[in-house]
Structure 1
Amino acid sequence: MYLPSLAQLALGSRLKSLSDHFYAAVDEVYRTCGAGVESRWFPVLRFLWENGETTVSDVAQAIGQTHSAVSQLADKLVDAGLVCRNKDILDGRRSLLALTDQGRSSLAALGPIWVAVRRGIVKSLGEQGLETLLDALAATEAALQERPVVDAMLAEHAVLASASLEVVPYAPALKEHFYRLNAQWLERHFRIEDIDREMLGDPERYVLTPGGAIFFARLDGEVIGTCALLHESPGVYELSKMGVDETFRGMGAGRRLLAAAIAEFHRRGGKELFLESNSRLKTALRMYEQAGFVMQPAVRPGSHYERADVYMVYQPVQQGAGG
């Protein structure tokens, strides 16, 4: 599935999807059993049932929703005849929420349904799975209460905004990152072929010794991307093994690495620069095209890669002479 691959970036979307799933499931049970309530009403109705007449602010604080959201939900419950608004005798400027007789009667009839919901969730998730989920939710709520996530995100953004992105050449201490960064995208989209395993496991032998080069992108000291310039034959080079850590996409590391490899190709007086890729990697292909690589009508003759169905050759735009 796509959303799980985005990890932290899709946390809100995945939680919303799960929330919508459970809301819809319980609503279907309510409808089938003839209950005149909706699952999204449950927290407010249950709180009023257990605590009696109270303010919108108290309800909002208790169930972790905004004052505005609870007030709007209260309006729906009033329209449904389940809740009423009473004037606060101690403060005439505010109202108190309370269950109506219809509301109390409706909730009293929900006992068997709530038991069925509890049992059904246990059977669906398993006792251990449910316990793990509830413990994780409790831990998450406590952590967010102690360390607000917006503050944490903005603090990290400030660090990244002031950090410098640099491209550095290969060093033995960086060898493990050459494998890590490439294995990440290969395992996600394809598989690690034998030729990949050899080159990634011993880049000095298969890239540097034959006359190639390896570059790394580093952000605030953290290695986030890499690429290789392979020496194919006299004057002929291959751009290969381009990989950027998925958690750092969109920060320009790929373009900086590509520019560094092209610059090295020119510095060496190269005559031909090509790459092989796959048509599924749309974002990467657009970046290559913008850098001057041109799609060829067929795959490269004698390609070493099973996954390669794209062959591109670097054809920089030639500047015309001035008049």
Structure 2
Amino acid sequence: MYLSSLRELAIGSRLKALSDYFYQAVDEVYRASGAGIESRWFPVLRFLRDVGPTTVTEVAAAIGQTHSAVSQLADRLVDAGMVVRQRDPGDGRRSVLTLTDAGERALGALGPVWLALRRGMAESLGPRMLDLLDAIDGCEQALAERPLVAAVMDQRAALSRESVEVVPWDRAYADHFRRLNQQWLERYFRVEDVDRTLFADPENIVIQPGGAIFFALYAGEVVGTCALLHEGDGVYELSKMGVDENFRGLGAGRRLLDASIDAWRQRGGKQLFLESNSRLGRALGMYERAGFVRQETIRPGSHYERADVYMVYEGKP
């Protein structure tokens, strides 16, 4: 499922989907059982029965919904004859919601249906039902103690003080080398056999022959990578430049490029080239600003089917 791959970023959407599923399922059970209520009415009706006449504000606070949402729901319940609005006998300036006789009768007949719902959920979800309820309890408590918006904004402020750091090859980051490059290859082209071979063993193919692989880190997260391949006789290829599309604008690509050029110089390289594609206009512009010059033809014996651009570094030696 796509949303599950987004983890925390899609928690609201996933919970919304689950909520809609449960509402729909319970409504179907209510209809099949001849119950006169809807699942979305349940918390208000049950609260009014258990507590007695109550204001919209108090109901909203008790069931964790907005005043506007409860007010609109109350209008529907009034129209359905389940609830009436009355003047508060203790304070004539405000009104309270009161359960009607019809509402009392509807709830009074639902015991067997609710028992079936409890047992049916236990059968369908098994031990996950209790895990889910405990998790919801824990989330509600944690959010009451530390509101989410405040926590996120504190993290955002801390991240604004971070900068991109470029580090050399580390086996712990090997999968990010594949992930970041596969991301742009699959988006714009396709992963070729030469790419798969490199992803399968970057240490022996790149590092051992005298090349280098760099990673761009932002607050400890790997957001970019590139490789410097040694072709032999002082000839090096800048390759596999990939930056996470969600972290553009941080300068990760240019920092990786500068680190690769520096590594080429330190190795006493005679030539530095790259192969790319004319569709990647932003990347080509960065290469040109760094000192790469586009050649008139593609490189003889090119490794890649996708390559239609050949550039050679003519910047500072």
TM-score interval (norm. to shorter): 0.7 to 0.9
For 1:52 and 1:116, how far apart are their aligned partners in 2? 26
* Structure 1 residue 240 corresponds to structure 2 residue 240: yes
For 1:39 and 1:16, how far apart are their aligned partners in 2? 15
Task: State the aligned residue count.
Answer: 291
Render the CA deviation track for 1:95-153: whole Å, top value 9, x for unaligned. 11111111111111222221221122111111x11111111111111111111111000
| Structure 2 unaligned spans of 5+ | 289-293, 295-299
| Cα contact 2:87–2:94 (8 A) shared by 1 | yes
Which residue matches 1:198? 201
Which residue matches 1:6? 6
C-alpha deviation, 1:12, in angstroms: 0.6
**Which residue of the other structure, out of 292, 295, 309, is the alignment partner of 1:313?**
309
Distance 1:103 1:187, change over 3 A: farther
Distance 1:3 1:271, change over 3 A: same
* Structure 1 residue 42 corresponds to structure 2 residue 37: no
> Match for 2:214: what amino acid?
F
| Cα contact 2:52–2:98 (8 A) shared by 1 | yes
Which residue matches 2:22? 22
* Structure 1 residue 137 corresponds to structure 2 residue 136: yes
Render the CA deviation track for 1:1-27: whole Å, top value 9, x for unaligned. 211111111111111111111111111
> Match for 1:13: what amino acid?
S
Q: What is the TM-score of this pair, normalised by structure 1? A: 0.75
Question: Aligned Cα RMSD in Å?
Answer: 3.7
| Cα contact 1:77–1:83 (8 A) shared by 2 | yes
| Structure 1 unaligned spans of 5+ | 277-281, 295-299, 319-323
Distance 1:289 1:105, change over 3 A: farther
For 2:200 and 2:29, how far apart are their aligned partners in 1? 53
C-alpha deviation, 1:309, in angstroms: 7.1
> Match for 1:313: what amino acid?
V
| Cα contact 1:216–1:225 (8 A) shared by 2 | yes
Matched residues, percent identical?
Answer: 47
Distance 1:123 1:111, change over 3 A: same
Which residue matches 2:291? none
> Match for 1:116: what amino acid?
A
Which residue matches 2:258? 260
For 1:49 and 1:310, how far apart are their aligned partners in 2? 69
Render the CA deviation track for 1:21-77: whole Å, top value 9, x for unaligned. 111111111222222221111111111111111111221111111222211211111
Which residue matches 1:297? none
Which residue matches 2:297? none
**Paired residue secondary structure (2:74):** helix
